[in-house]
């Protein structure tokens, strides 16, 4: 019996989630939100772009207000890995848009742990700011370690679903 309890605790703790999220925020369905490139602090190349794609999909699935995405490099060259370059281009683009809010953030972790199981680990921060202001009106951070057979994309979806669930559309 004691071994069963220990095994259960080990399994429970091996897929942990840590979160720090401000209270729910409500935004009008008529608003427009601009998504800036997510800054990649992880060692995995293009993790920010992967997270942006997942975020945009989940945003639409949750029927949140219109989401504008900053255009990506359309050349056939490799995409720029310099986040500052991507952010500068996105800020120029943002100045031409009529967005009410700006959604930005960063990727802190996007990798598989070393070890036998190689669990995926994703840590993500999102900030929602009124366009033209610098102080966020909402922030959320979640870090999650998945199970050994999970993919990074599946773990990232869980993290982003959790974060986006705090953003609601007012009636």
* pLDDT tens readout for residues 37-96: 999 999 998 899 999 999 999 999 999 999 999 988 766 665 666 788 889 999 999 999
| DSSP code string of the chain | -HHHHHHHHHHHHHS-EEEEEPPPEEE-TT-EEEEPPPEE-SSSTTHHHHHHHHHHHHHHHTTPSEEEEPPPP-SSSPPP--HHHHHHHHHHHHTTS--SEEEEEEEEEEEEPSSSS--EEEEEEEEEEETT-SS-SEEEEEEEE--TT--HHHHHHHHHHHHHTTEEE--
pTM, whole model, 2 decimals?
Answer: 0.84
- Rounded to whole angstroms, how far apart are CA atoms 158 and 150? 11
What average pLDDT does range 18-34 have in this prediction? 87
Rounded to the nearest 10 degrees, the angle between the axes of helix 47-61 and helix 152-164 is: 50
- Rounded to whole angstroms, how far apart are CA atoms 31 and 22? 20
Closest CA to 113 of 38, 16, 19, 48: 16
pLDDT class of 16 with cuts at 50, 70, 90: low
Closest CA to 29 of 71, 67, 80: 67
pLDDT class of 20 with cuts at 50, 70, 90: confident
């Amino acid at each position: 019996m004691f071994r069963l309890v220990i095994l259960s605790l080990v399994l429970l703790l091996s897929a942990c989630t840590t979160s720090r999220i401000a209270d729910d925020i409500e935004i009008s369905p008529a608003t427009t939100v601009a998504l800036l490139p997510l800054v990649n602090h992880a060692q995995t190349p293009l993790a920010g772009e992967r997270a942006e794609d997942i975020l945009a999909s989940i945003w639409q699935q949750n029927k949140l207000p219109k989401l504008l995405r900053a255009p990506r490099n359309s050349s056939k060259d490799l995409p720029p890995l310099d986040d500052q370059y991507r952010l500068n281009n996105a800020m120029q683009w943002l100045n031409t848009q009529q967005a009410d809010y700006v959604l930005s953030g960063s990727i802190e972790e996007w990798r598989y742990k070393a070890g036998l199981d190689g669990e995926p680990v994703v840590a993500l921060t999102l900030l929602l700011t009124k366009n033209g202001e610098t102080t966020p009106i909402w922030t959320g951070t979640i870090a999650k370690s998945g199970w050994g057979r999970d993919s990074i994309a599946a773990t990232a979806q869980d993290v982003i679903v959790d974060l986006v669930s705090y953003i609601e559309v007012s009636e």
